[in-house]
Amino acid sequence: MEKGEIRINTENIFPIIKKAVYSDHEIFLRELVSNGVDAISKRRMASMAGDCENTEEAQVIITINREQNTLTISDNGIGMNDEEIKKYINQVAFSSAEEFLTKYKKDNDEFIGHFGLGFYSSFMVADRVDILTKSAIGESKAFKWSCDGSPNFTLEESERVSIGTDVILHLLEEEKEFIEPERIKSLIKKYCDFMPIDVLLEGEIINKKNPPWRKQPNELKDEDYIELYKYLYPFQGDPLLWIHLNTDYPYDIQGILYFPKLSGRADWEKGEIKLFCNQVFVSDSIKEIVPKYLLPLRGVIDSTDIPLNVSRSALQTDRKVRSISSFISKKIANKLKDLIKNSPEFYAEIWDSISAFIKIGAIEDDKFADLVDSSIIFETIINSEKDVTKDIENKSLIKSNDKYFTTLANYKERNKINDSKKIIYCSDLIAQSSALNICLSDNKEVIKSDPLIDAQFLPWLESKNEDYQFQRVDSEINELEDKESNEIVDKDGKSNTDNLRDTIVKALNNEKVTVKVHSLSSKDAPPAMILLPEQMRRINDMGAYMEQKMPGLPEYHVLLINKEHPLIVGLNKITSSKIIIDKKDSIENPLASKIVNHVYDMAKLSVGGLDQEQIIILQNNNAELISELLNSTN
């Protein structure tokens, strides 16, 4: 029997392995099963070279012995002779102890995977580890290696008959959970489910094997992709679409990425894409490998070209990792181009669920923005009486579930926007309904925007394309008003409209409110509307965003009075008669003042410009005003 000392220069290596290298002790099983699969692969290659015989039934077997408190991981791979044991087992991670300690004394979270440690992860859960092994090459004898967690080991001949390796872990008292079959099954499912070799426990194969992402796309049906998604993400429904990654040059990467149906705001920080290396699960936190805007995607990336033993900060600057990230982005962009070209109705149907990925990706990544430029669409609102048949036939418009979608280029073409850059949009169908209806009645087409993402995306589009100028439906009056009719003026040179405006200005007594009076074309137009100039509103919204609160009504705004509305017509009669009869300031009429303020408050209410306390005051004033009007008719 040979005795010796593992080739390290310090004796605190094992405590570091046990406590500092991995955040989860369960990783040891991944390492040992991976080693077994590697040994089987090596035996297969050696047999092809004529150096040994291959095994007929390659498998990794896990055996539990409750009486002895041991867990054994066995393989029928290539095995080792005594010299190989000394080379591969007695040299920790193929590097000096000083380098090893310097690297792994750092925070656990600084590293992704530590495959170089391999076998030594056993000592996180065991106080003694035995190896029984016999090489498949030559007339090798069997050997037994044993270590109690110190730098000391023993190496002696054994009576093992079969070729392969047994790793026997004598578990620590506090690690007895690893002799429970269900615990082992759960770990195999998590880490080794898609390894290419059968993994057995108590005579049962407990891994799926044959990962779909290692196959060619033409070998898989839609059902295969959906089945994998549901297996990886139970109870999440079906995915919207998927992208199959498969390349071996200039780097090796396979995988399947899914666009999920999101039931709420996506997680843009962690992500749920699972990283594999040679079909072995490594991590589900890969924000250093894919762009942030792709983190809400789901699926699998399997690559041997992603370094697993470097810090996360180093991953972010690694040239090959950046190249892989660009490759993934390009594949996704190409998939989107293909969908909008060949399946536009389906693309429009899922647009609401995928638009956030695309828009944020375009803002954050110029190359991605160029790739998806023609794939960005908006829902567009069109007068229901307008015939859009030809637009649908020539694919200028996409119809999906009674909704219409368009690219901005097609929007400008349909609306003959050549000299003007203006693109009208609506971000709230309820709050902006009055202005929207006026636009629609004038046969203007209005795109629908997301109030959160598009608050950043539309200005970004303007900065990238000088032909785009976005204007919200309620931002200006020029497009909302009828031509002024000729009115008779009084001796002071003021028309009835001028006098009405003066009355309202005096009643409001607010220099921050600009009052404008017009005849609005729409029959459904309200008595008054709040208008916010586009740039002023954007500044207000940005300020609210910086303060992390919902945008409110800016102090400075326009009150547009619709003089054709019956309520304003009645108000006009009251103020006009007062002027003629009493020759006094019309605002002396308390009823007129109350009507003016009521109209103004209702306009503010429609755009969310009243807080809860102000709404209660409005309700009280409304009841008082109606009572006064009823009494005045008696």
Please provide the DSSP assignment of 131-189 as one string: EEEE-SSTTPPEEEEEE-SSSEEEEEEE---SSEEEEEEEE-GGGGGGG-HHHHHHHHH
Binding residues for ATP: 31, 35, 75, 80, 165, 312
Torsions phi, psi for 446 (to 5 deg): -125, 125
End-to-end CA distance of the chain: 119
Instruction: Return the C-alpha torsion angle 102, 103, 108, 112, nearest 10.
Output: 180
For position 113, what pLDDT does the model report? Answer: 41
Tokens 């006026």 belong to which residue? 438
CB 496 within 8 A of CB 575: no
Half-sphere exposure at residue 375, Cβ-oriented, CA atoms within 13 angstroms = 29
Binding residues: 31, 35, 75, 80, 165, 312
Grouping H, G, I as helix, E, B as strand and the rest as coil, residue 475 is coil
The band of 491, judged by pLDDT with boundaries at 50, 70 and 90, is low
pLDDT digits (tens, 9 = 90+) for 184-202: 999 999 999 999 899 999 9
CA neighbor of 65 nearest in space, from 158, 215, 171: 171
- 0.75 exceeded by the pTM? yes
Higher pLDDT, 114 or 268: 268
Rg (CA), the chain: 37
Torsions phi, psi for 275 (to 5 deg): -95, 125
Peptide bond into 250 cis (omega under 30): yes
430 DSSP 8-state letter? T
Higher pLDDT, 370 or 84: 370
How far is 529 from 520, CA to CA, in rounded Å?
Answer: 11
Ramachandran region of residue 119, left (φ > 0), alpha (ψ -120 to 50) or beta?
A: alpha
Asked if pLDDT for residue 582 goes beyond 60, the answer is: no
Half-sphere exposure at residue 293, Cβ-oriented, CA atoms within 13 angstroms = 22
Tokens 């008054």 belong to which residue? 528
For position 151, what pLDDT does the model report? Answer: 77
How far is 194 from 281, CA to CA, in rounded Å?
Answer: 8
CA neighbor of 290 nearest in space, from 301, 282, 280, 277: 301
Go through the domains of the chain in sequence order and give each one's CATH number: 11-205 (3.30.565.10), 212-332 (3.30.230.80), 377-472 (3.40.50), 496-578+588-632 (1.20.120.790)
Mean pLDDT of 474-495: 59
CB 601 within 8 A of CB 621: yes
How far is 277 from 303, CA to CA, in rounded Å?
Answer: 5
CA neighbor of 372 nearest in space, from 386, 362, 357: 362
For position 14, what pLDDT does the model report? Answer: 60
| CB neighbour list of residue 220: distance below 8 Å, 6 or more residues apart | 212, 244
Query: To the nearest whole number, what is the mean pLDDT of the chain?
Result: 83
The band of 584, judged by pLDDT with boundaries at 50, 70 and 90, is very low
386 DSSP 8-state letter? S
Give the rounded percent of residues in the chain with a pLDDT score beyond 90.
39
Indicate the range of 68-77, 266-275, 281-290 predicted with least confidence: 266-275
Structure tokens given for 66: 């409750």
Mean pLDDT of 299-303: 91
In order of 288, 290, 324, 629, the CA distances from 314 in angstroms are: 9, 14, 15, 75
CB 471 within 8 A of CB 458: no
How far is 268 from 11, CA to CA, in rounded Å?
Answer: 43
Asked if pLDDT for residue 547 goes beyond 90, the answer is: no
CA neighbor of 80 nearest in space, from 200, 147, 160: 160
489 DSSP 8-state letter? B
Question: Among 19-33, 95-109, 542-556, 588-602, which range has the highest average pLDDT?
Answer: 588-602
In order of 96, 132, 150, 157, the CA distances from 90 in angstroms are: 12, 15, 12, 17
pLDDT digits (tens, 9 = 90+) for 219-251: 999 999 999 999 999 988 899 999 999 888 777
